[in-house]
Amino acid sequence: MRILRIDLPASLKSNNAQINLSSGAVREQFRREMDSLKDELSEIIRHRASAYFPSDYTVYVRISFLPETNGAKTIIWVDDPNVRWPAALFARRAWALSIPILSHIIKETFEERVQSVSMQIDDKKARITSFAPIRGWNDPVILTAGVLILSGFFWYLVNWFLQDGLSSLIGY
């Protein structure tokens, strides 16, 4: 199992040039409206994004609006049950290919629900974090380290006994 966190930052801009989202009264109203919509938007985005993944994957979405910077941040958590440790080393790079698809889903969903504001997602600033499961005793890295330590200790003991045994035979 591998859990991936995909952070997609976005900037919000009014479609009407006369409305400035940075002004105090508009900013407060915008924050209230976005706070009331974020749960609904998160669920719609989760539903649409999960359609792009196999059925055994689990997708969670959290969207937060940052009215002081006229921005938004969408965090998508994906539970990938098929990726194990060795393949997970490359999982982050492979998941970077899905960023344009996920950003399109987010932008399309947002602009359907909020017609007066457009969202621009910067795909280059997207960040993917991969959380690895705890390694067990049968993990390849732990087994390799264990075999290396045990075989080194074994040959150290064999060498020590051989030196003692051979020195008593030779007379040193």
For residue 43, the model assigns a pLDDT of: 95
For residue 14, the model assigns a pLDDT of: 83
d(CA 53, CA 78): 9
pTM for this predicted structure: 0.71
For residue 130, the model assigns a pLDDT of: 79
Q: Are residues 20 and 94 in the same domain?
A: yes
For residue 67, the model assigns a pLDDT of: 72
Q: Are residues 101 and 21 in the same domain?
A: yes
Q: Are residues 90 and 12 in the same domain?
A: yes
Burial 51-80, CB ≥16 within 10 A → b, else e: eeeeeeeebebebebebeebbbebbbbbeb
For residue 41, the model assigns a pLDDT of: 92
For residue 90, the model assigns a pLDDT of: 64
User: What's the N-to-C CA distance of the chain in angstroms?
Assistant: 59
- Residue 75: CATH number of its domain: 3.30.70
**Sheet strands (E) in 2-123:** 2-14, 58-66, 71-80, 117-121
Cα distances (angstroms) measured from residue 55 to each of 50, 90, 95, 109: 8, 22, 17, 21
Q: Are residues 66 and 151 in the same domain?
A: no
Q: Give the H/E segment covering residue 166.
A: helix 140-170
Q: Please list the ranges in the chain whose pLDDT falls under 70.
A: 1, 83-92, 132-135, 171-172
Q: Are residues 33 and 116 in the same domain?
A: yes
What is the three-class DSSP state of 171? Answer: coil
Q: Please count the structural domains in the chain.
A: 2
Q: Are residues 100 and 83 in the same domain?
A: yes
Nearest to 8 by CA among 131, 123, 101: 123
For residue 172, the model assigns a pLDDT of: 60
Q: Are residues 69 and 127 in the same domain?
A: yes
Q: Are residues 105 and 172 in the same domain?
A: no
Q: Which domain, by its residues, includes 27?
A: 2-131
Q: Are residues 107 and 165 in the same domain?
A: no
